Amino acid sequence: MPLYVQVKQALEGQIDPAGWRPGDRIPSEPELCRVFGVSRPVVRQALLELSHEGLLIRKKGLGTFVAEPRITTRSLVHSLVGFFQEMDAKGLTPMTDVLEQAMLPAGGRVGGQLQVEPSTPVIKVTRLRFVESEPVVLVTSYLPYELCPDLLTADLRRQSLYAFLQEAYGLTLAGGRRVIEAVLAGEQDAARLRVPTGSPLLRLESVSVLGDGRPMEYFHGLFRSRFEVELGPERSADMPPLHWEAQT
């Protein structure tokens, strides 16, 4: 087994609740060389491998730190299962901070996505989603008021939006179109997601539709987690396109 692999495995063994914790600074390269009795290139290769795997973060001028655990989510990319249900199914503790829950006119852009007139009332819900007390996604949803008027006063702090819509109105998603792009965190979003301003985030924009083709929800979200996407047969090419505008 190559020396760098042995060093890598030894370091991996230190990254657990009983050893190094997320945010801890690990020993410097010279210190690790002395501990393992190996050359600096060997240590660097081991650290590089661990960085590529997302276990360590190397900060120029500061050192190498244990990375925050990555929460893998695939639901909002390739599935009609909601974020809340997926995290709960994994045995994780999802929580929600509802930042805004209001009725307002759809306006041109939201109205275009939901295929309603700009003056049509919609319910806007902005939520900061947490898993194990860590903020994971900042998401804003828009839904036609006539579809779900009680959503305006629903308590979404500990329940899924989709579960509420199913139970209260019998509304079930049948499909949709989603677009993902990489963006940099602005000052306000960075503060909410607890990342440095300018950090890379994933921005997802989506329109979800009912069985009869009516748009039920338009949302956009900023994620600090990674995505795992399952591959399968391609969806129908005649699905209505998402009207996309570049983020400014």
Q: Where are the domains of the chain?
A: 3-66, 72-227
Specify whether the backbone of 115 is left (phi greater than 0), alpha (psi in -120 to 50) or beta.
left
Check pLDDT > 90 for residue 100: yes
**Residue 168 in contact with residue 134, Cβ under 8 Å?**
no
Q: What is the CATH number that goes with domain 72-227?
A: 3.40.1410.10
DSSP string, 65-130: EEPPPPPEE-HHHH-SS-HHHHHHHTT--EEEEEEEEEEEE-HHHHHHHHTS-TTSEEEEEEEEEE
Q: What percent of the chain has pLDDT over 70?
A: 78
CATH class of 3-66: mainly alpha
**What pTM does this model have?**
0.64
12, 55 in Cβ contact below 8 A?
yes
Q: What is the pLDDT of residue 128?
A: 94
Cα of 40 vs its chain's centroid, Å: 36
- Cα 196 → chain centroid: 16
pLDDT given for residue 210 in this prediction: 92
Which one has a higher pLDDT value, 171 or 227? 171
Share of residues in the chain with pLDDT > 90 (%): 44
